[in-house]
Amino acid sequence: MPKILVILMTLFFLVGMPYPVAPLDAAEPNLEVVQADKENRAAVSQEEAWAVLQAAFPEIMAGQELDAEYSEQGLDGASYWEFQLKDETGVPNGNYSLRATVNALTGEITAMQYNPLPAYYQGKTVALNRQQAYQVADEFVKKIQPDKVAELVFLDTNQSSYYPRDRLNTFYNFTWNRQNNGMVVDWDSISVGVDAITGKVTRYSYVWHNANFPPAGTTISPQEITAKLLDEIGLYPSYTTQILNRESIFLRPIYSLNTNAQFFDVNTGEALKGDGTRIAKQDARIFETIPEPQKNTSRLERPVQAAASKMNPDQAKKVAEEAFKKMGITGEIRRSGGGTSSGLGYQEEFWHYSLVDNKSSNRFGNGPEIGIDVHTGFIHQYNNYAAANGGGENSITYATALQKAQEAIKLLNPEKQNQFVLCNQLWDEEPADTYHFYFNRLVNGISCPGGIRAEINKYTGSLINYWVNWPPYGFSALENMISPAQAESIYKEQQPFQLAYIFPADKNGAKNQRTEPLLVYRYAPDNKIDALSGEMLGRGEVSLNLDSAVPAGHPAAPALSLLQESGLLPAGIQPEAAVTRRQALKTLMASIQPNYYSSDLKISLALKDINVNDPDEVFLQKAVRKGVIKNQGYFDPDKIISREELAVWLVNCLDYQDVARMKNQISNPYKDADRISKDKTNYVGLVDGLGLLTADANQNFRPQDAVSWAELAVTSTRLATMRGNQSRY
């Protein structure tokens, strides 16, 4: 069969009948008219709002069929025209969407997000690196909001820290914060997303309060507020995920200010709630007594949590029966549902049980229910919403309710005794009928992610809700931690607070546009201390030039920059460095973004050289389900992958294995065609024909050569556009 015919068949079956991209001179869309309420009629009509969108995004809006809806009051108190595609679900790609909002009083665009169909990218490759995309975004901001530019300060951050770890984003995101009188205006900002392939702005967000900002006047200094808070609140040690990189599942210790408050009074240093009211000193601290690190601690490995270690249903049912008995509940039980939870390097699964003879006892009912962790057999959850009923004039005391919550832990999770500490919680409004308690998990004597929540009826003392979050992380040792005194010294030197304007939230949590701005102290971006190195930590401030590892003019620079934007490029890697099988698989799976189903948890990896503790277990499970790799033998994660091996994986990612397995051989006109393994000939021919992985300038495919990061970057970004990969984040 001639090669060209096979390639045409491949494109037909792979892409299908492409949806046409509307020409620029397409007719205006058919808009469903929604009339505004007479008493709250918008100053900007629907047609005027649509004209604003057309002027700002002419290519995107051309030919689109949109619905329009008038919203009388958004979260910020303003009215909006909201536009979106008539049917986002009636297309083959679930990510296809177009949504936009226009302020109905000012005519300003406040949001726009466009996820195009794969046809939008046909014949295109990644064109922009981050620096080039920034220039596009900067020019767009100057064009769409010229009067606001003087108040904008670019937020130069590592965007990969904001994205999910399992996907390649095909756009760059940039954010400008607002400043007034030289101080940050909290909440107000402009964000722009630039498509890396087309160079078009496909995302836009604008939040701006019309307000008069009071001058700073006389305030206490950053030095004074730092000293005051250290004296009254102090620092506490804890494990955190904030400094966790994408390759590790071990958490490191930090020092943080011992409060959940985000804002502080500029004159007194008192902690403030989001609505601007003061927090009593005794309520501002997270821990009344700061946890102390244990001495002679060791590195704790993550517990084994694999599908193969699941308990059988009969065992789980017996555990649930015993738990019900401990709570004074008897009767026949049944499995009534379940759920899953996942994080970096681990997955958890739960089964829920409830009473058979209670008609309201189901996954969404009011009767008592027990949740069991199917790997450990420990109680994960207890719900009895019926216990929320019953009130009266006389309520039990906080101390009595606390005792009942602690007794519940002793009954339901005795294995966790002495492994937690009570935390203070900040409530804008204390719940009227319940006491809420949160017990933070302790590892090596210090706070770490996870804990137990309990809700007690104020009048009956009954347990209403009980939830355990105990992720199976690994933890670094603490023998090299800096002392609390050293941490305080660093904190005093850095003074990690800055003046900022906030718009106090109302009782419903909305940032009301008519609220007057309030000047406060808030945390600076870097406000925590690495307890091992003594460095200040935040979101990960970096230089805008994220392409520094790529030589200027390198042909793969845009694609490498996009991988770096998504956190998929190892730090300091050179473009021609070889790629391992593990690195290649992670990047390809991030490019195609296969959906993750709870059934993936049932995939017990049978790869002989992959441990159940493997941090990339989820990627491997997805690859097995997708058919990219076989769940047998050795995976060789650290082996360098060859170009012909990558060709096989690429075809498998596209679900096109059957074409590659045809008896008809695709003729490969390469000079080194004889070096291609016989069973991989069609795979190589397909990826070359699809433009995913091609021959070099000398017409050599080099099938046995190592894949470089430059090649993987170009290939994976082409794969992402072919699959219509556009993250919604």
pLDDT, tens digit, for every residue of 196-219?
999 999 999 999 998 899 888 889
Check whether residue 459 and residue 485 sit in a common domain.
no
As given in the structure block, the two tokens for residue 674 are 């004889």
Are residues 68 and 193 both part of a single domain? yes
For residue 278, give the DSSP letter.
B
Is the pLDDT at 430 greater than 50, yes or no? yes
Are 352 and 483 in a shared domain? no
CA distances from 13 to 437, 654, 688, 693 (A): 56, 10, 16, 19
Residue 694 confidence (pLDDT) above 60 = yes
Q: Say whether both 269 and 141 belong to one domain.
A: no
pLDDT at 160: 53
For residue 541, pLDDT over 50 is answered with: no
Write 674-681 long-range contacts (CB < 8 A, 24+): 675/701, 675/702, 675/703, 675/704, 676/644, 676/701, 676/703, 677/644, 677/703, 680/644, 680/645, 680/647, 680/648
Distance CA 723, CA 690 (A): 12
The DSSP letter of residue 179 is E
CA distance 368 to 588: 45
- 106, 139, 140, 193, 353 from 143: Cα distances, Å: 17, 6, 5, 15, 58
Distance from C-alpha of 365 to C-alpha of 378, rounded to nearest angstrom: 23
When pLDDT is averaged across residues 206-235 and rounded to a whole number, the result is 94
> Sign (positive/negative) of CA torsion 41, 43, 48, 54?
negative
Torsion of CA 357, 362, 366, 368, to 10 degrees: 70
Residue 335 lies in a domain: yes
Q: Which of 426, 447, 471 is the last residue of a domain?
A: 471
The residue-averaged pLDDT of 420-443 equals 85
**If you average pLDDT over every residue of the chain, what do you get?**
83
**Cα 628 from chain centre:** 25
Which residues, in sequence order, are bridge partners of residue 463?
456
**CA distance linking residue 287 with residue 88, whole number of Å:** 48
| Residues paired with residue 195 on neighbouring β-strands, in sequence order | 171
Does 547 reside within a domain?
no
Structural domain harbouring 413: 307-471
Residue 546 lies in a domain: no
Do 577 and 456 belong together in one domain? no
pLDDT exceeds cutoff 60 at 546:
no
Separation CA 658–CA 320 (nearest Å) = 47
| Cα distance between residue 67 and residue 34, in whole Å | 9
Nearest CA to 245 out of 305, 168, 161 is that of 161
Helical H segments across 550-616, by residue range: 557-565, 581-592
The answer to whether residue 682 scores a pLDDT higher than 90 is yes
Residue 550 located in a structural domain: no
* pLDDT, position 429: 63
Would you call 353 exposed, middle or buried from its count of C-beta atoms within 10 A (0-12, 13-18, 19+)?
A: buried
Q: DSSP 3-state assignment of 300? A: strand
What is the average per-residue pLDDT within 157-186?
A: 79
User: Who has greater pLDDT, 427 or 497?
Assistant: 497
Give the distance, in angstroms, between the CA of residue 434 and the centroid of all CA atoms in the same chain: 32
Which helix (H) or strand (E) is 521 found in, with range?
A: strand 518-523
**Taking a C-beta distance cutoff of 8 angstroms, is the pair 332, 344 a contact?**
no
Domain end point (choices 437, 471, 505): 471
pLDDT of residue 465: 94
Q: Are residues 493 and 450 in the same domain?
A: no
Residue 660 lies in a domain: yes
Q: Are residues 655 and 706 in the same domain?
A: yes
Q: Do 461 and 483 lie in a common domain?
A: no
Q: Retrieve residue 646's tokens.
A: 């990558």
- Taking phi over 0 as left and psi of -120 to 50 as alpha, with beta for the rest, 445 belongs to left
681: part of which helix (H) or strand (E)? helix 681-689
Cβ–Cβ under 8 Å, residues 68 and 32: yes
320, 447: one domain: yes
In a domain, 11, yes or no: no
Distance separating alpha carbons of residues 62 and 169, to the nearest angstrom? 25
Q: Which residue has the tokens 């670019």?
A: 154
Residue 323 forms part of a structural domain: yes
3-state secondary structure of 260: coil
Q: What is the pLDDT of residue 217?
A: 86
- Residue 9 pLDDT exceeds 90: no
The lowest-confidence range among 198-207, 469-478, 718-727 is: 718-727
Residue 28: closest CA among 49, 9, 51: 51
| Closest by Cα among 480, 437, 438, 442 to 238 | 442
In angstroms, the CA 205 to CA 76 distance is: 14
Assigned domain for 13 exists = no
Q: Which of 138, 233, 246, 229 has its CA nearest to residue 192?
A: 138
Say yes or no: 389 and 533 in one domain. no
Measured CA to CA, the distance from residue 194 to residue 132 in angstroms comes to 10
The sign of the dihedral angle between the CA atoms of 481, 483, 487, 490 is negative
SS3 call for 101: strand
Mean pLDDT for the stretch of residues 104-128: 88
76-90, 525-539, 662-676, 677-691: the lowest-pLDDT one: 76-90
Residues 190 and 244 in one domain: no
Task: Please list the residues that pair with 205 across neighbouring strands.
Answer: 111, 191
The answer to whether the CB of 246 falls within 8 A of the CB of 567 is yes
The structure tokens listed for 709 are 């990061």
> Is the pLDDT confidence value at 615 over 80?
no
Note the pLDDT of residue 622: 87
Mean per-residue pLDDT, 300-329: 80
Domain count, the chain: 4
Using a pLDDT cut of 70, give the percent of the chain over it: 79
In sign, the C-alpha dihedral spanning 679, 680, 681, 683 is positive
- For residues 264 and 337, state if they share a domain: no
